[in-house]
Structure 1
Amino acid sequence: MTQMVDWDLAVSTAATLTAGGPRVSITDAADVVNELRRLTDVAEQHVAAYTGLSARIDHPPVQVVDRPDWVRSNVEGLQLVMDPVIEKIQAASPPKPSPLGGAVGTVAKAVGSKATGIQVGTILGFFSSKVLGQYEVFSGTPGRLLLVAPNVLEVERKLGVDPTDFRLWVALHEVTHRTQFTAVPWLRDHFLSEVNAFVDATDLDPDALADRVRNGISALAEAVRNPDSKASVLDLVQTPAQRAVVERLTALMTLVEGHAEFVMDGVGPDVVPTVESIRARFNARRGARNPLDRLLRRLLGIEVKMRQYAEGRRFVAAVVEKVGMTGFNQIWTSPETLPLAAEIQDPDAWVARVVGAAA
Structure 2
Amino acid sequence: MQPAVDWDLAARLAARAVRSGPAASRAERADVVAELRAAAPAAAGHVARITRMLPADPGAPADDVRVVDRASWARANVRALEGLTGRVGVPADRGLRGTAGAGQVAAVLGLLSGSVLGQYDPWGPRGTLLLVAPNVLAVERSLGVDPADFRLWVTLHEQTHAQQFASAPWLVAHLTDRLRVLLAEEATGRRGGSRDPRERSGPGAGGPRSLLDLLDPRQRVVLDEVGAVMALLEGHADVTMDAVGRSVVPSVRRIRRRFEARRSGAPGTGGMRRALRAVLGLDVKLAQYRDGAAFVRAVRRRVGTDGLNAVWGSAGTLPSAAEIADPAAWVRRVHG
Higher mean Cα deviation, 22-31 or 179-188?
Answer: 22-31
Rounded to whole Å, the distance in 1 between the matches of 2:158 and 2:16 is 27
Q: 1:89 aligns with which of 88, 92, 100?
A: 92
Q: What is the TM-score with the length of structure 2 in the denominator? A: 0.90
CA distance in 2, matches of 1:195, 1:171: 27
TM-align CA RMSD: 2.5
Match 1:296 to one of 252, 258, 276: 276
Corresponding position of 2:80: 77
Q: Name the count of aligned residue pairs.
A: 330
Give the secondary structure class of the aligned counterpart of 1:88: coil
Counterpart selection for 2:162 from 158, 178, 182: 178
**Secondary structure of 1:62's aligned partner:** strand
TM-aligned CA deviation for residue 67 of structure 1:
0.8
Deviation at 1:207, TM superposition (A): 5.8
Counterpart AA for 2:300: V
Aligned to 1:62: 65
CA distance in 2, matches of 1:112, 1:76: 16
1:196 aligns with 2:180: yes
User: Identity of counterpart residues, as a percentage?
Assistant: 45
Q: 1:14 to 1:301 in 2, by over 3 A?
A: same
Are 2:334 and 1:354 aligned?
yes
Summarize deviations over 1:69-128 as a string: whole Å, max 9, x none: 1111111111122246776333xxxxxxxxxxxxxxxx68xx752222221111111111
Matched, 1:280 2:257: yes
Question: Per-residue deviation at 1:260?
Answer: 0.2
Partner of 1:222: 205
CA contact (8 A) 1:261 1:313 kept: yes
Gaps of 5+ in 2: none
What is the rounded CA distance, in whole Å, between the counterparts of 1:189 and 1:112 in structure 2?
A: 26
Counterpart position of 1:308: 288
1:297 is paired with a residue whose SS is helix
Partner of 2:47: 47
Q: Which residue in 1 is equivalent to 2:28?
A: 28
Cα distance in structure 2, aligned partners of 1:158 and 1:120 = 28
Task: State which of 211, 223, 235 in structure 2 corresponds to 1:246.
Answer: 223
Residue pair 1:169, 1:268 contacting (<8 A) in 2 also: no
- The answer to whether residue 117 in structure 2 is matched with residue 132 in structure 1 is yes
Q: From the CA coordinates, give the structure whose radius of gyration is larger.
A: 1
Gaps of 5+ in 1: 91-106, 225-230
Of residues 78-87 and 67-76 in structure 1, the stretch that sits farther from structure 2 once superposed is: 78-87
Matches of 2:193 and 2:235, distance apart in 1: 34
Give per-residue Cα distances to partners, 1:251-287, cap 9 Å, x unaligned.
Answer: 0000000000010111132300001111111111123
- Going from structure 1 to structure 2, the CA distance change for 1:223 and 1:302 (only over 3 Å counts) comes to farther
Question: CA deviation digits over 1:231-250, x for unaligned, max 9?
Answer: 64221333433222111100
SS state at 2:49 partner: helix
- The residue number in structure 1 matching 2:127 is 143
1:258 aligns with 2:235: yes
3-state SS in 2 of match to 1:271: coil
Residue 151 of structure 2: aligned partner? 167
The equivalent residue for 1:228 is: none
Asked if the contact 2:74/2:109 (under 8 Å) is kept, the reply is yes
Q: Is residue 234 from structure 1 mapped to residue 211 from structure 2 by the alignment?
A: yes
Q: Compute the displacement of 1:211 (Å).
A: 4.3
Q: Distance in 1 between matches of 2:8 and 2:112?
A: 17
- Paired residue secondary structure (1:64): strand
TM-score (norm 1): 0.84
Structure 2: how far apart are the matches of 1:321 and 1:87? 41
Alpha-carbon separation, structure 2, partners of 1:281 and 1:211: 42
